[in-house]
Amino acid sequence: MSEIAKITLDGETHELPVIVGSENEKAIDISKLRGKTGYVTIDPGFKNTGSTTSAITFLNGEDGILRYRGYPIEQLAEKASFLEVAYLLIYGDLPKKAELDAFENEITRHTMVHEDMKTLLRAFPAGAHPMGVAASLIVSLSTFYPESQDPNRDKEAVDLSIVRLLAKLPTIAAWSHKFSERHPVIYPKNKYNYVENFLNMMFELPTEEYKVDPIVAKALNTLLILHADHEQNCSTSTVRVVGSSQANLYASVGAGISALWGPLHGGANQAVIEMLEAIRKDGGDIDKWIAKAKDKEDPFRLMGFGHRVYKNFDPRATIIKKAADDVLKALGINDPVLDIAKQIEEIALKDEYFVKRGLYPNVDFYSGIIYRAIGIPTEMFTVMFAIGRLPGWIAQWKEMLEDKSPIGRPRQIYTGSAVRNYVEIENR
Ligand code: ACO
CB distance 57 to 229 below 8 Å: yes
Task: Please give the distance of CA 346 from its chain centroid, rounded to a whole number.
Answer: 27
Helices (H), 1-52: 33-37
Tell me the domain boundaries of the chain. Answer: 4-50, 92-229+236-261+386-402, 268-373
Confidence of residue 198 (pLDDT cuts 50, 70, 90): very high
CA of 305 to the centre of ligand 1 (A): 7
Question: What local confidence, expressed as pLDDT, does residue 369 receive?
Answer: 85
The catalytic residues are 307, 364
Provide CB contacts within 8 A for 311, sequence distance 6+. 61, 62, 358
- What value does the mean pLDDT of the chain take? 94
Does any ligand 1 atom lie closer than 6 A to the CB of residue 307? yes
Q: What digits encode the pLDDT tens for the residues 78-87? A: 999 999 999 9
pLDDT band at 428 (very low <50, low <70, confident <90, very high): very high
Residue 134, exposed/middle/buried by CB under 10 A (0-12, 13-18, 19+)?
buried
Q: Is residue 159 very low, low, confident or very high in pLDDT (cuts 50, 70, 90)?
A: very high
Specify the pairing of strand 57-60 against strand 65-68. antiparallel
pLDDT digits (tens, 9 = 90+) for 310-338: 888 889 988 988 888 888 888 888 888 88
Quick one: average pLDDT of 90-98?
98
What SS3 state is found at 307? Answer: coil
**Ligand 1: which of 308, 344, 353 to mutate, judged by most atoms within 8 Å of the beta carbon?**
308
Among 25-39, 243-257, 290-304, 305-319, the range scoring the smallest mean pLDDT is: 305-319
Position 1 confidence tier, pLDDT thresholds 50, 70, 90: low
Taking Cα atoms as reference points, which of 176, 170, 185 lies closest to residue 126?
176
Contact between 252 and 309 under an 8 Å Cβ cutoff? The reply is: no
Phi, psi of 19 (to 5 degrees): -100, 135
What is the pTM (predicted TM-score) of this model? 0.91
What radius of gyration, in Å, describes the C-alpha atoms of the chain?
23
**Which ligand 1 atom is nearest residue 296's CA?**
13
**Is residue 305 within 6 Å of ligand 1 at its C-beta?**
yes
Residue 222 has pLDDT above 80, yes or no: yes
Distances (CA, A) of 364 to 174, 228, 270: 20, 13, 8
Residue nearest to atom 49 of ligand 1 (CA): 265
Q: Is 14 in a helix, a strand, or coil?
A: strand
Q: What is the mean pLDDT of residues 331-355?
A: 89
* Domain formed by 92-229+236-261+386-402, architecture: Orthogonal Bundle (1.10)
Quick one: pLDDT at residue 364? 85
State the CATH architecture for 268-373: Orthogonal Bundle (1.10)
Q: Is 104 a pocket residue for ligand 1 (Cβ < 6 Å)? A: no
Sign of the CA dihedral with 130 first, then 204, 385, and 120 last: positive
Measured in whole angstroms, how far is the alpha carbon of residue 306 from the centre of its chain? 16
The per-residue DSSP string of 245-291 comes to TT--HHHHHHHHHHHHHSTTTTTHHHHHHHHHHHHHHTT--HHHHHH
pLDDT tens figures, 373-412:
888 999 999 999 999 999 999 999 999 999 999 999 999 9
CATH architecture of the domain covering 4-50: Single Sheet (2.20)
Per-residue confidence at 209, pLDDT binned at 50, 70, 90?
confident
Ligand 1: atom nearest CA of 234 is: 50
Residue nearest to atom 41 of ligand 1 (CA): 303
DSSP per-residue codes, 113-150: --TTHHHHHHHSPTT--HHHHHHHHHHHHHHH-GGGG-
Average pLDDT over residues 297-315: 89
- Could you tell me if the CB of 359 is within 6 A of ligand 1? yes
State mean pLDDT over 361-367. 87
The mean pLDDT of 251-275, rounded to a whole number, is: 93
User: Does residue 165 contact residue 138 with C-beta atoms inside 8 Å?
Assistant: yes
